[in-house]
Structure 1
Amino acid sequence: MGAGKSTIGRLLSHELKLAFTDVDREVEERAGANIPWIFDVEGEEGFRQREAQVIDELTLQDGLVIATGGGAVIRAENRACLQSRGTVIYLMTSVEQQLERTAKDKNRPLLQADNPKHVLEQLIEKREPFYLSTSDIVVKTDRRHPKNVVNEIIRQLKRKELIN
């Protein structure tokens, strides 16, 4: 959350001349409702089911840069789709940076709590092992301009011979 997935995904797709899709936006579009509403009505499980369906469908397509939500990795089926059908990039960021970037965003149901910092710390503790085991590339985003992050991603993709 707040790592810059959508911003960096858009920039990366532009540089690679690929289409860009944000899983959260796709879920909202298909549901005809925003994520907080989905969480309120269907709970996190309902949202995660919708998210898994979108990830499964999108990862079957070629020529896409996909930004997933931060919680997508908690489901084994999502990790399997992502790993087997593409290159996974983990945008690593600190809790402090996440707090800064999400402070005024009311569209993040998991952070609508008395202590968002504690929530983020718990989420990273639970999710980071999945991020690390699923990703092909890890890039730190703290205090970095998105274009610099994209340039580093492209360098790593070339080094790993994942692009020309």
Structure 2
Amino acid sequence: MMAELTSGHKRSPEASPAVALRRPVCLVGMMGAGKTTIGRRLANRLGRRFVDADAAIEQAARLSISEIFAAFGEPGFRDGERRVIARLLREGYDVIATGGGAFCDPRTRALMLDNATVVWLDCDIEVLVERTGRRRNRPLLEGVDRREVLTRLLAERREFYAQAHLHVKAGVQPHRRTVDAILKALNPCAG
């Protein structure tokens, strides 16, 4: 299934009634920052719909992310990624977890900044290296030194991520605390 939806639009018992979303929330940041896990939990706390953009891309293409990269290269992948994110925003998803490089594409970045509240989940390299080692479905990390590539990518992408509306430090703390920090940061944007 492409999207993971929270059950209906009921708020979970721990949902924050003070946060009412006017715009969708797009989570951006490096691979391994926890965008999917945090996004799912955030949507559950808000009683809103969640979708992982990479899963939606795979469903639309009927190919894995690695297969798309192999067949079309990164430019072809980024073009399809932008079109899928635009569709997800039009379809009314409330919380969208994006791929690590999505926000670096200027047209995708403008699309998200104009149509959503963008939250950068910022993680330390140590956390990213450990988390990305758990899964083997990351084309940019296949057959390379993960620490070296992640360090380089973060240095290249930091200026783009810094353009997000909100900056939330994520990392070794429980995901609940990261969700709490996002909810607190969203409060001034809600209404």
Judge same fold: TM > 0.5, yes or no.
yes
Letter in 1 for 2:53: V
CA distance in 1, matches of 2:167, 2:156: 17
Letter in 1 for 2:103: V
* 1:142 is the counterpart of 2:142: no
Once the two structures are TM-superposed, the CA of residue 122 in structure 1 deviates from its matched residue by: 1.0
**Length-normalised TM-score, structure 1:** 0.93
Alignment gaps of 5+ in structure 2: 1-30
Q: Is the 8 A contact 1:60 1:85 kept in 2?
A: no
Q: Is the 8 A contact 1:59 1:81 kept in 2?
A: no
Residue 72 of structure 1: aligned partner: 102
- Per-residue CA distance 1:28-87 (angstroms, 9 max, x = gap): 001111111111111112211110111122223435101100100121111111111110
Letter in 1 for 2:160: F
Residue 36 of structure 1: aligned partner: 66
Give SS of 2:79's match.
helix
CA distance in 2, matches of 1:32, 1:57: 16
CA distance in 2, matches of 1:90, 1:113: 27
Letter in 2 for 1:55: I
Question: Greater share of helix residues, 1 or 2?
Answer: 1
CA distance in 1, matches of 2:144, 2:121: 26
Q: Stretches of 4+ moved more than 6 A in 1?
A: none
**Length-normalised TM-score, structure 2:** 0.80
CA distance in 2, matches of 1:98, 1:6: 14
Residue 186 of structure 2: aligned partner: 157
CA distance in 1, matches of 2:170, 2:134: 20
Give SS of 2:117's match.
coil
Identity of aligned residues (%): 38
Q: 1:52 to 1:63 in 2, by over 3 A?
A: closer
Give SS of 1:69's match.
coil
Alignment gaps of 5+ in structure 1: none
